[in-house]
Amino acid sequence: MRRAKIMQFTEKKLPNGIRVIVSPLASTQAVSLLVLIGTGSNYEVKRTNGISHFLEHLFFKGTKSRPRAGDVHRALDGIGAEHNAFTSHEYTGYWVKSAFRHFDMALDVVSDILLEPLFKSDEIERERGVILQEISMYEDMPQRRVSEYFESLLYGDQPAGWDIAGLPETVNNISRGDIVRYKEKQYVASNTVVVVAGNVDPSEAMRKVSKTFVKMSKGHPDHQKKIKEEQKTPGVRMVWKESDQTHLMLGVRAFSLHDKRRYPLLLLSGILGGNTSSRLFMEIREKLGLAYYVGAGAQHYATTGFFSARAGVPHSALPIVVRKITEILHDVCTKGISERELLHIKDYVRGSLALAFETSDEIAFHLGEEALFRKKIIMPEEDLRKLDAVTRADIQRLAREILKPAQLNLAVVGPHRSGSAYQKVLLKL
């Protein structure tokens, strides 16, 4: 069957090194503008852990043309736009989604905060308090925190294992000088991708973005240090917390987004826990009734990655659920998957991609992430072709390769203290 193209785009590299991508989408009344900077918590030193996230907040606290706190938000709220920013381990993003007729305002605001920030000392101190409250808020969100504990278990005391938001003591250490130096070093044109997706004239949008962002300074940003990975025995981390539910993540190290094995891993993740007909969902929620949320997935970074299963369960059911997950993992290693499961998950992925790329923001994020981390953008059609080529034998081979007892890791948040018993359970995979 011949597939229609999911998306089209044009790309241009400006004289200062910034990459601009425009993807027209006539079927929407919206336009999404996304700016990605290739820096995040993996680029930090321990003394100022959290500086990438701190800096992200401060861009909204005043510019030369919008000097008061709140001016930026008022400008975007005034056109009914959605807007936000985020920080990850490897990149930081700023985005606005608005009605297409307000594209000029969206571009003006986003370029303003990135090119003309003030970083007033009093605003830095106020925002420091906001970030400390954000960190406290996450402590009250064990479903989120367990994933951070899982990554700290995998990577330990190195940037990949640190909290993206930092710790209260590191956030309190960060000075205005630290912030300015970090911004000047990392927020440079060669480290930046700008994407426009939606109802725009591509040549006109490219002209406007180029005229604006050609002003971004040149420079040579720091690169993230190589992540050290070593594991000889199962890892367990128990974080005591009085809660109504125990949250767990159980998984293994995998590989980067550049590795071709990510295709069978995507399908394996889907079969194990990617939807409501997956093995984990059917066994733990539908048959045992021990979880409301349960699933699995893979995370791929530029140089590393992992696969994990996750669930929220009654405190007393933690041993049962951990054993059941390891049994399911063991089963896929020894017996593989059925042809029916393979066809089902491939159809599911095709459908999910088709739905995702109906929106301008999803298109923008796909193109932006691809451009930031790859020399050549991989289009969804190419991903689908590679997924179609994956066989049952490929998936079982991959499962046997990565799902080894000594490589398992379990992070738990709840009223539990000892993890020694669970190491024995993991060794039985």
DSSP 422: H
Give the pTM: 0.95
Which of the four pLDDT bands, split at 50, 70 and 90, describes residue 403? very high
Q: Among 145, 135, 115, 93, which Cα is nearest to 371's?
A: 93
User: What pLDDT does 424 receive?
Assistant: 86
Tell me: pLDDT of 58 over 80.
yes
| Cα–Cα distance, 248 to 256 (Å, whole number) | 23
In this chain, the answer to whether the domains covering 10-213 and 235-426 adopt an identical fold is yes
DSSP 63: B
CA-to-CA separations, 46 to 186, 217, 287, 330, in angstroms, rounded: 17, 27, 45, 38
Q: Which helix (H) or strand (E) holds 97?
A: strand 92-99
Dihedral sign, Cα of residue 274, residue 276, residue 277, residue 280: positive
Tokens for 5, please give them: 């193209």
Which of the four pLDDT bands, split at 50, 70 and 90, describes residue 1? very low
27 — alpha (psi -120 to 50), left (phi > 0) or beta? alpha
Tell me: pLDDT of 4 over 50.
no
Tokens for 233, please give them: 């025995």
User: What pLDDT does 3 receive?
Assistant: 41
Tokens for 428, please give them: 């039985």
Tell me: pLDDT of 7 over 90.
no
| pLDDT digits 0-9 by tens, 40-51 | 999 999 999 999
| pLDDT digits 0-9 by tens, 190-231 | 999 999 999 999 999 999 999 999 999 999 999 998 999 999
Give me the architecture of the 235-426 domain, per CATH. Answer: 2-Layer Sandwich (3.30)
Tokens for 244, please give them: 């109504």
User: What pLDDT does 6 receive?
Assistant: 60
| pLDDT digits 0-9 by tens, 86-132 | 999 999 999 999 999 999 999 999 999 999 999 999 999 999 999 99
User: What pLDDT does 90 receive?
Assistant: 98
Tell me: pLDDT of 417 over 90.
no
User: What pLDDT does 418 receive?
Assistant: 86
| pLDDT digits 0-9 by tens, 146-190 | 999 999 999 999 999 999 999 999 999 999 999 999 999 999 999
User: What pLDDT does 427 receive?
Assistant: 86
Superfamily of segment(s) 10-213: Metalloenzyme, LuxS/M16 peptidase-like (3.30.830.10)
Tell me: pLDDT of 5 over 60.
no
Mean pLDDT of the chain: 96
| pLDDT digits 0-9 by tens, 322-367 | 999 999 999 999 999 999 999 999 999 999 999 989 899 999 999 9
More confident residue, 375 or 116: 116
| Cα–Cα distance, 373 to 352 (Å, whole number) | 23
Task: Of 248-257, 272-281, 413-422, give the lowest mean pLDDT range.
Answer: 413-422
User: What pLDDT does 419 receive?
Assistant: 86
Domain boundaries along the sequence of the chain: 10-213, 235-426
